[in-house]
Amino acid sequence: MTLPFLVKTLAIRARSGLRCRGCLGLLDDASEAGLCGQCWGGLQPLPELRCPHCALEHDPEQPCPEPVAWAHGDALWDYHGGRPPLGPLLLPGIKSGEGGWRKALIRRVVEAPLPGFCCSVDLVTSAPATGLRRLLGGFDLAEELARTLARRMDRPWQPLLRKAWGSGRQGARNETERRRLPRKAITLASLLDSQPVVLLVDDVWTTGTTLLRCAQALKAGGAREVRVLSLFRAL
Ligand SMILES: [Zn+2]
Ligand SMILES: [Zn+2]
- Half-sphere exposure of residue 66, counting CA atoms within 13 Å on the CB side? 24
Distance 46 CA to ligand 1 centre (A): 21
Higher pLDDT, 165 or 95: 95
Residue 28 to residue 40: CA distance in whole angstroms: 11
Residue 158 to residue 146: CA distance in whole angstroms: 9
Model confidence at 129, pLDDT cuts 50, 70, 90, reads confident
DSSP state string for 171-195 = GGS-HHHHHT--GGGEEESS--SS-
The per-residue pLDDT for 95 is: 85
The closest alpha carbon to 122, from 194, 195, 193, 196, belongs to 196
Write the pLDDT tens digit of every residue in 163-220. Answer: 876 655 666 667 666 667 777 789 998 888 899 999 999 999 999 999 999 999 999 9
Residue % of the chain over a pLDDT of 70: 82
- Minimum-distance ligand to the CA of 27? 1
> Measuring CA to CA, how many Å separate 37 from each of 28, 30, 109?
7, 4, 16
Q: Which residues pair with 72 in a beta bridge?
A: 227
- Minimum-distance ligand to the CA of 50? 2
Secondary structure (3-state) at 67: coil
pLDDT surpasses 80 at 39:
yes
Higher pLDDT, 190 or 68: 68
Distance 65 CA to ligand 2 centre (A): 6
Kindly list the protein residues that place their beta carbon closer than 5 angstroms to ligand 1, a single-atom ion.
Answer: 20, 22-23, 36, 39
- Minimum-distance ligand to the CA of 83? 1
- Minimum-distance ligand to the CA of 42? 1
Write down the domain spans for the chain: 68-167+177-235
pLDDT surpasses 60 at 9:
no
Topology of domain 68-167+177-235, per CATH? Rossmann fold (3.40.50)
pTM: 0.86
Distance 204 CA to ligand 1 centre (A): 22
* Identity of residue 99: G
The per-residue pLDDT for 185 is: 86
